[in-house]
Amino acid sequence: MKTITVTASKTYEVMIGPDLLASAGALASELVKGLSAAIVTDDIVGPLYRERLAASLKKAGFRVVSFVVRHGEASKNAENYFALLNFLAEERFTRGDTVFALGGGVVGDLSGFAASTYMRGLRLVQLPTTLLAAVDSSVGGKTAIDLIAGKNLAGTFYQPDLVLCDTSALATLPGEILTDGVAEVIKYGVLADEALFHMLKDPVMPRLEEIIARCVAIKRDIVQRDETETGPRKLLNFGHTVGHAVEALSNYAISHGRAVAVGMAVVARASSKKGLCTQDTAEQIVNLIGSFDLPTATEYSAARLAGAALHDKKRSGGSITLVVPEAIGRCVLRETPVSALEEFIGLGL
Ligand SMILES: NC(=O)c1ccc[n+]([C@@H]2O[C@H](COP(=O)([O-])OP(=O)(O)OC[C@H]3O[C@@H](n4cnc5c(N)ncnc54)[C@H](O)[C@@H]3O)[C@@H](O)[C@H]2O)c1
């Protein structure tokens, strides 16, 4: 098992290893005061792992209740958010009690937003069951729900009290959902860890614990420097400006991981054509993405991609912050005038 300590507005541990769901009760009871535990999960993860978690929590003395949503992004909505708040109130949860988010990023974001706002903040334990949630959404404290006008438009920064990543639970992930997470892992490699990048040339599953730990350590280092994304945390958006545009233009038919894969490939090619990195660096990035059967190209035009990207909430004023790879393991932030974005994307298509 690997443990990584995050010191942000809250200090907490991220534990990564096999069979952690079975010890979740004992580990959580060391941290939390209240006796009530609400397991929030979805209708795919629930039947697989809810019972294991509930048994462990009961054994540690918790009163356990469960709130189950339908799987998929559409569940990260205002209706489920209010239903969860009302559920916690009906179950008489108070500030010392704990929400256990058991699932992927959808469950994690919804649970985190509810936990951060119910009575101005409950205890929160994240138990990620997708690779994407393990390396990204369960750590760092961003919570959100989607509004009709767009994704993640209502949310908070709210760090969890504990993150337990049971690597055994990732064994049931369908291949496509696993590779969505791999896109984010590739991102971390390009961003800050050349060894991780090369590790991905071998099978991922046997080295899951180490791969997740490396990603979490990178995210930890960045979040500790900039918890609320005013500066360096923007580095975590490598591939995401174009990625969000691809996702939005496809009306979310293209998954987040696949869209980010396209985004990273486009930016890598554009960066090499602009002389910001070598052609070899760009080719290595594109080839690694392609080796997982993740897409490296899109049929959307540069004009449409730039238009959609500029609707993204991460734009500020007359410029947009792009994350540019200088080498494998090193990226920089580059303020780019909004007027130059279309040309830049066009170079990478
Ligand atoms: N908060 C953040 O910092 C952050 C970062 C990145 C992404 N996100 C958010 O995360 C969400 C995407 O997360 P995701 O990719 O985990 O999607 P998800 O939560 O929808 O999970 C994907 C699918 O996998 C299933 N599943 C989950 N674990 C499983 C398991 N162990 N075995 C079998 N099936 C399993 C789920 O039921 C679901 O159908 C998006 O809403 C995105 O906005 C948040």
pLDDT tens string 268-319: 999 999 999 999 999 999 999 999 999 999 999 999 999 999 986 556 568 9
Q: Above 80 in pLDDT, residue 55?
A: yes
pTM equals 0.96
Determine the pLDDT at residue 150. 86
Determine the pLDDT at residue 333. 96
- 215 C-alpha to center of ligand 1: Å? 17
- 108 C-alpha to center of ligand 1: Å? 8
User: Can you tell me which atom of ligand 1 is nearest the CA of 255?
Assistant: 15
Determine the pLDDT at residue 189. 98
Determine the pLDDT at residue 146. 95
Kindly state the average pLDDT of the residues 313-326: 81
Determine the pLDDT at residue 149. 87
Determine the pLDDT at residue 247. 94
**Could you please report the per-residue DSSP string of 252-292?**
T-S-HHHHHHHHHHHHHHHHHHTTSS-HHHHHHHHHHHHHT
Determine the pLDDT at residue 19. 97
Share of the chain above pLDDT 70, in %: 98
Determine the pLDDT at residue 34. 72
Q: Above 80 in pLDDT, residue 32?
A: no
pLDDT tens string 95-154: 999 999 999 999 999 999 999 999 999 999 999 999 999 999 999 999 999 999 888 999
Determine the pLDDT at residue 31. 86
CA gap 35, 61 in Å, rounded: 7
- 170 C-alpha to center of ligand 1: Å? 12
Kindly state the average pLDDT of the residues 163-181: 97
Amino acid at position 16, single letter: I
- For ligand 1, atom 5: residue with the closest CA: 137
Determine the pLDDT at residue 316. 57
CA gap 195, 185 in Å, rounded: 12
- Judged by phi (left if over 0) then psi (alpha if -120 to 50, else beta), residue 19 lies in left
Write the CA distances from 51 to 27, 48, 58, 126, 158, integer angstroms: 17, 8, 10, 16, 27
| Residue 77, CB-side half-sphere exposure with 13 Å CA sphere | 10
Determine the pLDDT at residue 317. 65
Diameter over CA atoms, the chain: 60
Strand ranges inside 52-161, DSSP E: 63-69, 98-103, 123-128, 142-147, 150-157
CA gap 167, 164 in Å, rounded: 9
Among 116, 124, 130, 188, which is best to mutate for testing ligand 1, by the most ligand atoms less than 8 A from CB?
130
Q: Above 70 in pLDDT, residue 23?
A: yes
The alpha carbon torsion through 327, 329, 334, 336 (nearest 10 deg) reads 70
Whether residue 162 contacts residue 175, with contact meaning beta carbons closer than 8 Å, is answered with: no
Strand ranges inside 137-254, DSSP E: 142-147, 150-157, 162-166
Kindly state the average pLDDT of the residues 169-179: 97
Among 52, 107, 132, 216, which is best to mutate for testing ligand 1, by the most ligand atoms less than 8 A from CB?
132
- 293 C-alpha to center of ligand 1: Å? 19
CA gap 157, 288 in Å, rounded: 32
Kindly state the average pLDDT of the residues 229-237: 93
**Could you please report the per-residue DSSP string of 207-223?**
GHHHHHHHHHHHHHHHH
